[in-house]
Amino acid sequence: MKELSKKIRLLRHQKSWSQEDVAKRLKISIPAFSKIETGITDVNVSRLEEIAQIFDMSLVQLLTFNDSEEQEKHDSDLEDLTVKLHEREIELLEMQKKIIELYEELRKVKA
C-alpha cells in the first residue's frame, strides 16, 4: 500500500495540485486524503477508481503506474533543460562581450 500512496502523491505533484485540491475532488476532508497519501488508510476499490479518474487514468493504469518510467522522462527533460541553459549561458557571454566592446568604442569616441 505504501507504493500506491507514493504513486498518488507523485501524480498529485505532477499536476501541481495541493492535498486540498484532491480532497475536494474526492469530496473528502484534507486529513482523510493525507492519510491515503501517506499510506495510513487502506483504500477500497471504489475510492481507487475515483482517484484514478481524477488523474485521467484507469484503475489498472493507477495500479501499474511505474515511477521509474516517469523518472526516466524527468531525467530526459532535465538533460534537455541543462543543454538549453548552457546555450543561454553562451548567448549571455556573447552579449556581455558585445556590451564591453561597445563601451570601449564609446570611450574612445569621447576621448
pLDDT at 65: 74
Q: Which of 78, 21, 73, 75 is nearest to 8 (CA)?
A: 21
Residue-wise pLDDT for 11-64, tens only, equals 999 999 999 999 999 999 999 999 999 999 889 999 999 999 999 999 998 888
Cα gap 78→96, rounded to integer Å: 27
| Predicted TM-score of the model (pTM) | 0.58
Cβ atoms of 87 and 44 within 8 Å: the answer is no
